[in-house]
Structure 1
Amino acid sequence: MTTVSDPPEVEPATPVATDASDAPDGGRWRAVAVPLGVCLLVAALALIPLLGNRTFYFWDDSAAQFVPMWNALGERILEGNWPPLLDLDAWMGGNLAAEALFGVWNPVNAANYVLVASLGDLAVAGAVVKTEFLVLLALGVYLLCREYGAARWSASVIAVALPFSGFTLYFEASTWAAGLMAFTWVPYVWWSVRRSARGRMLAVWPFLFGGLAITAGNPYGLLAVCVVFLGLLVEFALRGQRRAILRVLLVGLTMVGFALLVFLPLLGNSSVSWRGGNSLRNDRQLVPTLSDVLNMSMPSFVPSITSFAPGSIRMTVPATYFAWFVLPLAAWLDWGVLRRRWRSLAGALVVGGCYLAATVGPSNLWMFRWPLRLVECVFLGLGVVLAVVLGAGLRTDHARRRIAVTALVILVSGYLAFAAWPKLSPRHLVSMGLLALLTATAVVVFLRARRWLAVALHGGTVVTLLLMITWFPGNRDVTNHDFPHSVAAIRHDFAERYQGTTFQIADPWFISNPSTRPAEPWRDVLFGNMYRAAGVASTTAYTGMGNRFMAEELMLTYLGGVHAQAKPPTYERLTRPTPVGPSLADLMRVNTIVVQRPLLDSPPPPAGWRVAERNDAVTVLRREAPLPWPDGRLSFASANLRVTADVKDHQRTENVRFERSGAGQGQLVFARLAWPGYTAQVNGVDVPVRTGPGGLVVVDIPDGVRGGELRLHWSPPGVTVGLVTIGAGLLVALALSGYQLRSRRHPARFGVSE
């Protein structure tokens, strides 16, 4: 293959055509057929992990946190409650606005929650929703690569490979669902902002895609949006396109409101929550090295990265794998394309470079931790560059030299894989042989029938995925809770037995330890948010926020369990009198207490309680008499107040009618955690809300008030500011779009030279 002198860099108005399938006369059907084929292929490949592991997408946090809460949120939305900002029955995990990760403001998330609630099987629901987002991710990557001028076939190759890279598949898709949901929208934001800056898309579209990315709720999504904007600003600055820079800045301003809406509640709850991570340190957990990231094409490579298991020295899955063809084909690519077009690719280089630096950086930086999470954005930036370079075809001159370089690359990759885990040597040998075979096949196909090169590369992706799933059927770096996943069966086992608010005193260690694991481990206790799927109002909930007042008083861990060594026992703290008078069990309106027997074998029933059930695993206590005020969350009224009605209008509002029966200040306590944002009015006059025992809401009734109505309402901090700012951003986006439509009549006034 001969080379020519480099022409001046000019970004094409349409992607470069490199073969018959990409030629302008190829017909419009290819513009639809290729991305449709990408979506169908990714949907099919997403089923492969289920062949040997039907709970692959119902794993670790997806089982303990996300999918069961999706089911509960879907039921709430079907009841007409959207967005569901507060879930009182989840207690510490119920401040959904502050938790952020559930993306309760995101309409796509909301539609999926309704879908989950209608499916009836949590494992199936997890697989369906995550397959959807893998498909959406692939389509976004395809569009982004095309925007940068990649050929259709090369864009499709990257788009199919990226969703099945090691971290995205084994961590984001399998367990950390919020990360997948946020990352999915990043390519769309990048694509739409760049097109809008170039005058080829109305500004309202990046506004909407930015809203979807940010309202997904994961702070890493917001971080990625910011880095993308940085990359685009650098790119257009290098190209001297000032109008494009201005448009990027204006479009970015339209998205500020989404960030305020999602993350102001999180920050506003910092005074009562235990959310940590505001530090700069490196404990080496989930911190890859540069060599880990660079060895991205070896499907058997298990990097030496500290994971969550005690004493961990390496991972158990190929977490830094990207695609089989990246390194083996590097010697065959025409890198002159990058030299000629580096300015137009500067955005991708900046995004990939920034994330590469952060990926090998410290383990904790403010609220961001575990930099392995960032590796997929490294691959996104690299993927854009590869799609453009690969689209120019392979170079076959100096064949011996290229073969030698490829052989060296495969040998070095194999040695690094062997050094990381010598025990897997047979797998490493198979991987090396497979990479050599796939590379040779790709080169031969290119020489004899270039139009089939994409098929060869896609075929290699399928083969390597099958191999990885065979070798690594599940992510053992995190916890497989092995929870039951039939919603009907879960409710059959728990909803009738555990009535009313249920307080569970249990430690998951006794379930995971083989010596104490019951024959039916999930017959009597559940952890995380599984009680939400069971329809049980329980203080056992997964939370990243927590409420430090409740946690400190009752010694609750982040999973809602109890430390086995905790003293004094949680049971004693729950049932002893508080400064208000009644016990926390009474103030929290607890109706059922479940105590794991290895923690406390024979809990003495408090007055008014009885042992309702006792088996080898748990003792279940139940309140004998019904609680007063069954229509609301009021749990205590001082002796000088007579409550005549208490009605909970919905999760966030409650109305109490009362009469004064004695002198002095009155006091009302509610079975609600005192999250910031509560306000109270007595007969239309504001009265203070304070934090009482166990972090509960307490309202003091002034001495001079003889009676009337108390209205208690909760609104997350910053929501009004966020909604107003979003409205302003929408107006700006619409104004920019209107200007674009008018300016299209005079392209020279608006458009960037393409």
Structure 2
Amino acid sequence: MRVSRSRRTRSETLARIGWPALAAVLTLAFAAARLVRNPRFYFSDDTERGSAGQWWQLGDQLLQGRIPLLDPSAWQAGNYWAEGQWGLINPLTWVIALTARLSESPVLHATAVKLVFLAVLAVGVHLLARSFGAHRPWAALAGVLVPLSGFVVYMDAASWSTDLINVALLPWVWWALRRTVEGRRSPLAYLVLSYLLIAVGYVFGVMMLVVVLVETLVRHAVRRDGARVVRTLLASAWGALLTIVVYLPAVLTASVTERGNASFENLGFLNADLTDLASAANPWVSATIRSWDGDITVGPLVYVSWVLLALPFALPMARSAVRRCLPLLVLGGIVLALVLGPSHMGAIRWPLRLIPYLAICLLVLFAVAMSRRYPGGATPRSFWLSAVLLAVTSLLTWGNGPYAWAAILAAAAVSAAGIVLLHVIARTPRLRRRTAWAALAAMAVTAVFVAGQLYFFPRSPLPSRSAPDSAAALQQVLPDAHGDAIVVGDVEDGWQDPESWDERLLANLWYYSPTEVSNLYTVLPFETFVDDLCIDLRGTTCGDALDVLWSIDETTGERVSDLMSVSTVLAMKDTYPVAPAAPEGWDLVGEGDYTWLFEREAPLPSAGGVVWTSDGVAVDVTAQDDASVTFTVEQTSADGVVVFSRLPYPGYVIDGATAADPVRGWLLTVDVSRVAAGESVTVAFRPPAAPLLAASFALAMVVGAGWLVARGISAARRRGAAARR
């Protein structure tokens, strides 16, 4: 008896560890396989032009013992707290940033980060499925399948790093919440994991967490379960207070950015319709999803998993199982409604980004349902229902894209084989552990689909610009800092030529350069600045930008480049085929195959300081850093103003003077007309509502600590009572 019990314990331990480990290993294997066809698969678009440079810069600042708050030289990309996705208070982001700064290969570093989070997602889905009652093999299958859903692979993993991190963390947060609320376990895991999720700074994961918390609260309130209501309220208060800290600055800054005027409208951009969802079980076709490439985005963006075709094997679900899975149904239903909704809902846009959360809900639901019904539910009737479902979805998918008939037919054949295999395993009673064999068989069929994707879709629909995979090479662009720089023209000109990267970089890759360059990536374009310099969110300008830069400002009589403290101009030859005529004080100092390089004869200090005072005003700057300037007024006039080379973000506090209308609509301007000579004025930037942010953070810590202490006391009392009995 003892031997049998020992063996059973070892077997249970092996299963408990083995299935999630298998999910993680297969996820890593499938993810790594994509590198065979495309070694830069995980270094596309926003990773290449956004995350890589952002991580490098943050890591560089952290190594210097600083958390960056504001960088005037970065202009519209320099309000880091409002940008949000810098993860300034997220230890997880700090680790990524520090390793990026210490890595010589941006591609290898980004790839490693993506693979780690895909594995984290796989294990998290497994744990979440187990918390809803799924058997280990089916939970492991769900863990393998979610990281293979189309949007996760081709958009999040390939490009949108912060979205991938959000998706990877949500199952863990949800699992921890269920342990805490439903199972009366310590809230520590939930407190840590939810902090990491919220502090990523990407709002979609937080939106999903809000839905989960509200559903949990309402469900237990209806049941009049006071203890669980209290625990849910504590979890919600913790999350709400942290959300204020991370996201309120962006909300309060939106009024001066292009996001402030965002409207509700449907442009048919990165959202789906009902016929698109028919291809949710086909990994080898594109739905009619409109994006930057036109009406058809080349990639299986709505693909969830082929196993959805086997859902009839798991139906009908018992009423008790439906009640248990109610949170999955609620979140899944809301996500589905949003995915089918308008493409732009104010500042929230492109709802197809929520497809990964729909995949989590559907595949966890599938795992739970199969755990309850398989193999008994794999009847001939359910088999033929699956066949009909396969035929109908294939027909609808063909109707959307008849040109892809071969891929549709091939995928249907593989899916049919998978359905037959699951049916045969279920109908073979002599086969031991049919659930395990069925899950392994589904994983094997999935491997066939992954192999096909390597052929049909070897790369993300989001572009790669083939930037050098060398931190040292990126640092050699504009290596001799000559004051602040700006790039004008089409900065993407010549990216196909490796030698073009010797002359220019793109977006956040400029953070690698020793020169302070303002053409960086921002999610909050400053509206008046954008309109004046016709610059986009990644730093590309129109041809008129150089004329504006070297023009004379009517209010101040100074050149705009002077008001920006710009000392270097890099002009792209694609936009300016003939060398532009430089104004007095500027020289053409370099000509490359793709660029013209202009420099001031006498460089100016970096942006952030005083650049102009009105007639009759004289000031003496006594202290200055990125976030503040202090000056003494030596002389003033009735209409005296001081202009700074800074954007007038909400959050500036002026001590000793008042704010004036910004020059050109985007240069911070201070009214000193009522300041007496000899008095000091301090202009300091803090995130908008900084006292509220600090109070929210402190209160969140109090809530978290109090919850832990209260739970510890309660657990000690229960142990004492049990001991006395």
The alignment's TM-score, normalised by the length of structure 1, stands at 0.87
Equivalent position amino acid for 2:545 in 1: T
2:106 corresponds to 1:129: no
Partner of 2:306: 324
Task: Assess, with a 3 A threshold, how the Cα gap between structure 1 residues 23 and 371 changes in structure 2: closer, same or farther.
Answer: farther
> Residues 208-257 of structure 1: CA distance to partner in whole angstroms, max 9, x if unpaired?
32222222111212211111113323443565534323321232012211
Equivalent position amino acid for 1:583 in 2: R
Task: Assess, with a 3 A threshold, how the Cα gap between structure 1 residues 130 and 570 changes in structure 2: closer, same or farther.
Answer: same
2:580 corresponds to 1:597: no
1:617: how far off? 2.6
Partner of 2:207: 223
Task: Assess, with a 3 A threshold, how the Cα gap between structure 1 residues 595 and 244 changes in structure 2: closer, same or farther.
Answer: same
CA distance in 1, matches of 2:156, 2:716: 45
SS at match of 1:563: coil
CA distance in 2, matches of 1:729, 1:749: 30
CA distance in 1, matches of 2:7, 2:275: 36
How many residues are matched? Answer: 710
Contact 1:301-1:420 within 8 A present in 2 as well = no
1:114: how far off? 1.0
2:305 corresponds to 1:314: no
Contact 2:286-2:296 within 8 A present in 1 as well = yes
CA distance in 1, matches of 2:257, 2:366: 44
CA distance in 2, matches of 1:223, 1:373: 12
1:52: how far off? 1.1
SS at match of 1:577: coil
Equivalent position amino acid for 2:583 in 1: P
> Residues 363-405 of structure 1: CA distance to partner in whole angstroms, max 9, x if unpaired?
2222222121122211212222112122236235774434333
Partner of 1:606: 583
Q: Which moved more, 1:705-714 or 1:258-267?
A: 705-714
Structure 2 portions without partners, runs of 5+: none
Partner of 1:577: 552
Alignment partner of 2:408 out of 428, 432, 446? 428
Higher helix share: 2
Instruction: Kindly report which structure 2 residues correspond to 1:524-539, keeping only aligned pairs within 5 A, or say none.
Output: 524-539=503-518
Task: Assess, with a 3 A threshold, how the Cα gap between structure 1 residues 52 and 705 changes in structure 2: closer, same or farther.
Answer: same
Task: Assess, with a 3 A threshold, how the Cα gap between structure 1 residues 419 and 226 changes in structure 2: closer, same or farther.
Answer: same
CA distance in 2, matches of 1:709, 1:47: 60
Contact 1:641-1:661 within 8 A present in 2 as well = yes
Alignment partner of 2:76 out of 70, 73, 92? 92
Contact 1:260-1:718 within 8 A present in 2 as well = no
1:36: how far off? 3.3
1:680: how far off? 3.5
1:609: how far off? 0.7
Contact 1:62-1:175 within 8 A present in 2 as well = yes
Contact 1:506-1:595 within 8 A present in 2 as well = yes
Contact 1:228-1:351 within 8 A present in 2 as well = yes
2:483 corresponds to 1:507: no
Partner of 1:177: 161
CA distance in 2, matches of 1:695, 1:287: 34
SS at match of 1:251: helix
1:69: how far off? 1.4
Partner of 2:65: 80
CA distance in 2, matches of 1:620, 1:739: 64
Task: Assess, with a 3 A threshold, how the Cα gap between structure 1 residues 483 and 160 changes in structure 2: closer, same or farther.
Answer: same
- The CA RMSD measured in Å over matched residues stands at 3.0
Equivalent position amino acid for 2:503 in 1: D
Alignment partner of 2:602 out of 625, 628, 631? 625
Task: Assess, with a 3 A threshold, how the Cα gap between structure 1 residues 630 and 279 changes in structure 2: closer, same or farther.
Answer: closer
CA distance in 2, matches of 1:244, 1:203: 12
Alignment partner of 2:42 out of 47, 57, 75? 57
Identity level (%): 26
1:149: how far off? 1.4
Task: Assess, with a 3 A threshold, how the Cα gap between structure 1 residues 694 and 660 changes in structure 2: closer, same or farther.
Answer: same
Contact 1:21-1:30 within 8 A present in 2 as well = no
Task: Assess, with a 3 A threshold, how the Cα gap between structure 1 residues 22 and 410 changes in structure 2: closer, same or farther.
Answer: farther
Task: Assess, with a 3 A threshold, how the Cα gap between structure 1 residues 581 and 631 changes in structure 2: closer, same or farther.
Answer: closer
SS at match of 2:298: coil
Equivalent position amino acid for 2:46 in 1: D
Instruction: Kindly report which structure 2 residues correspond to 1:527-676, keeping only aligned pairs within 5 A, or say none.
Output: 527-564=506-543, 569-578=544-553, 579-600=555-576, 601-627=578-604, 633-636=609-612, 647-649=623-625, 651-656=626-631, 658=632, 660=634, 667-676=641-650
Alignment partner of 1:463 out of 416, 432, 448? 448
Partner of 1:408: 388
CA distance in 2, matches of 1:355, 1:630: 46
Contact 1:641-1:666 within 8 A present in 2 as well = yes
SS at match of 2:127: helix
Alignment partner of 1:419 out of 392, 399, 412? 399
> Residues 481-507 of structure 1: CA distance to partner in whole angstroms, max 9, x if unpaired?
3333322112223323x6321111112
Instruction: Kindly report which structure 2 residues correspond to 1:275-424, keeping only aligned pairs within 5 A, or say none.
Output: 275-276=259-260, 278-309=262-293, 312-327=294-309, 329-333=310-314, 335-392=315-372, 394-395=374-375, 399-424=379-404
> Residues 255-295 of structure 1: CA distance to partner in whole angstroms, max 9, x if unpaired?
21111111211121123212256322212111212232243
Partner of 1:728: 699
Equivalent position amino acid for 1:560 in 2: G
1:469: how far off? 2.5
The alignment's TM-score, normalised by the length of structure 2, stands at 0.90
> Residues 34-56 of structure 1: CA distance to partner in whole angstroms, max 9, x if unpaired?
33333333233221221111221
Task: Assess, with a 3 A threshold, how the Cα gap between structure 1 residues 704 and 417 changes in structure 2: closer, same or farther.
Answer: closer
CA distance in 2, matches of 1:63, 1:686: 43
> Residues 521-562 of structure 1: CA distance to partner in whole angstroms, max 9, x if unpaired?
434333322211233311212222111232222222222222
CA distance in 1, matches of 2:386, 2:135: 24
> Residues 429-470 of structure 1: CA distance to partner in whole angstroms, max 9, x if unpaired?
221222122333334445324233332222223332222132
Partner of 2:55: 70
CA distance in 1, matches of 2:387, 2:78: 55
Contact 2:493-2:594 within 8 A present in 1 as well = no
SS at match of 1:255: helix
Q: Relative contact order (C-alpha < 8 Å, sep 6+): which is higher? A: 1
Task: Assess, with a 3 A threshold, how the Cα gap between structure 1 residues 66 and 690 changes in structure 2: closer, same or farther.
Answer: farther
Contact 1:655-1:709 within 8 A present in 2 as well = yes
Partner of 1:6: none
Task: Assess, with a 3 A threshold, how the Cα gap between structure 1 residues 630 and 558 changes in structure 2: closer, same or farther.
Answer: closer
